[in-house]
């Protein structure tokens, strides 16, 4: 059982008491402090500086700070309790002391590990690792986390602590380049349509508005045919793009439409294989992957996908 600390004598908190918890103290130091406080409060009020002010500005400031800093860390910097700050931030206190207002407005943001953040990036990283065959046990071990911290995120839990997110990011970097051997994980990922690491760009994986690029052309008809040829789970953007492609050619005769469809499918088939071949030729000349992607006019993520989807055959390597 937690015991509350009673304020020392000679402070306004001890002199004023706490309704329903502690009676006002009538010792001489407390009486003097109460009179001093009341006198100062009356003088400030007469000068147009009331002791209590509207909490709206402080509320906005706290909510902004809480986006990157946890309540306990804010409370430590403030020199008060986290519960008091939450009461202000969530509108349970409409008036606060001017001194409290000034201290809150002077607080600085400081990212803290205990802060809850959006889990979009964590969910995508965990599901991507499942898509290439890593089990939840292997991911948890690499992240130095208990498995029960991993599973709810894979199932779509929307937030997590920053420390958990950082550990998952480190595990993703360690495991994303090496496939696992868990067929059950792969099967679930295929069934749910989870994108593998190659479909995500490290710069956008945390962006809730970003989409996986399975083919390097997702969102276009070429992406649709690449999905089909590579037997990749069909993404909604490519399916919609193909529907739009067909709608634009709805007036064509069936024979002409089939010819257009064959051309589109053939273009998608050959371009990526040629891209992978050209990239390997440059890589053999000790050109970095970033420079190769820039020279070929594609993103690094797209290039890596093309290399993965078009492995080098023994005949071509010998040639």
pLDDT at position 270: 62
Contact 200, 126 (CB under 8 A): no
pLDDT digits (tens, 9 = 90+) for 200-254: 888 889 888 888 887 777 888 888 887 787 777 788 888 888 888 888 888 888 8
Contact between residue 15 and residue 34 where contact means Cβ atoms under 8 Å apart:
yes
Sign of CA dihedral 123, 129, 133, 139: negative
Strands 159-161 and 116-118: antiparallel
pLDDT, residue 198, reads 81
Q: How confident is the model at residue 133 (pLDDT cuts 50, 70, 90)?
A: very high
Token pair belonging to 279: 């990239």
Mean pLDDT of 273-299: 80
| Assigned CATH for 52-110 | 1.10.260
Q: What is the pLDDT of residue 271?
A: 66
Q: What is the mean pLDDT of residues 43-67?
A: 83
Measured CA angle at 173 (ends 232, 299), to 5 deg: 55
How many other C-beta atoms lie within 10 A of the C-beta of residue 82?
15
Domain with CATH 1.10.260 in the chain: 52-110, 117-199
What does DSSP assign to residue 199?
Answer: G
**117-199 maps to which CATH number?**
1.10.260
Does 114 score more than 80 pLDDT?
A: no
Tokens of 231: 């037997």
Comparing 210 with 44, the larger pLDDT belongs to 210
What pLDDT band is residue 135 in, cutting at 50, 70 and 90? very high
Token pair of 269 as six digits: 């088939």
Going by pLDDT thresholds of 50, 70 and 90, the confidence category of residue 291 is confident
Q: What is the mean pLDDT of residues 270-284?
A: 77
| The pLDDT of residue 68 | 73
SS (H, E, C) 83-97: HHHHHHHCCCCCEEE
Average of per-residue pLDDT across 101-116: 79
306 within 8 A of 272, measured Cβ to Cβ: yes
For the residues 78-104, what does the mean pLDDT come to?
88
Share of the chain above pLDDT 70, in %: 93
Q: What is the pLDDT of residue 177?
A: 84
Across the chain, mean pLDDT equals: 83
């Amino acid at each position: 059982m937690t015991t509350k600390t009673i304020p020392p004598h000679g402070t306004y908190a001890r002199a004023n008491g706490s309704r329903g918890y502690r009676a006002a103290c009538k010792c001489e130091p407390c009486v003097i402090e109460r009179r001093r406080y009341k006198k100062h409060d009356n003088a400030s009020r007469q000068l147009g500086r009331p002791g209590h002010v509207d909490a709206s500005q402080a509320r906005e400031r706290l909510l902004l700070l809480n986006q990157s800093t946890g309540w306990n860390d804010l409370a430590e910097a403030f020199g008060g309790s986290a519960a008091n700050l939450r009461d202000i931030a969530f509108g349970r206190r409409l008036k606060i002391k001017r001194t409290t207002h000034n201290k809150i407005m002077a607080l600085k943001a400081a990212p803290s590990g205990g802060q809850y953040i959006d889990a979009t990036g964590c969910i995508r990283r965990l599901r991507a690792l499942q898509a290439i065959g890593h089990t939840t046990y292997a991911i948890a071990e690499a992240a130095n986390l208990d498995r029960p911290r991993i599973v709810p995120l894979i199932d779509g839990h929307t937030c997590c602590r920053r420390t958990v997110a950082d550990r998952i990011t480190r595990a993703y970097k360690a495991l994303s380049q090496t496939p696992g051997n868990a067929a059950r994980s792969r099967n679930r990922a295929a069934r749910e349509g989870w994108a593998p690491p190659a479909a995500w760009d490290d710069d956008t994986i945390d962006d809730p508005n970003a989409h996986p690029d399975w083919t390097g052309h997702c969102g276009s008809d070429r992406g649709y045919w690449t999905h089909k040829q590579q037997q990749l789970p069909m993404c909604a953007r490519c399916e919609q793009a193909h529907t739009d492609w067909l709608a634009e050619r709805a007036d064509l005769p069936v024979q002409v439409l089939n010819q257009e469809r064959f051309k589109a499918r053939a273009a998608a088939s050959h371009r990526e294989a040629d891209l992978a071949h050209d990239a390997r030729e440059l890589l053999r000349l000790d050109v970095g992957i970033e420079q190769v992607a820039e020279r070929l006019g594609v993103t690094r993520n797209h290039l890596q996908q093309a290399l993965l989807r078009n492995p080098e055959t023994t005949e071509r390597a010998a040639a």
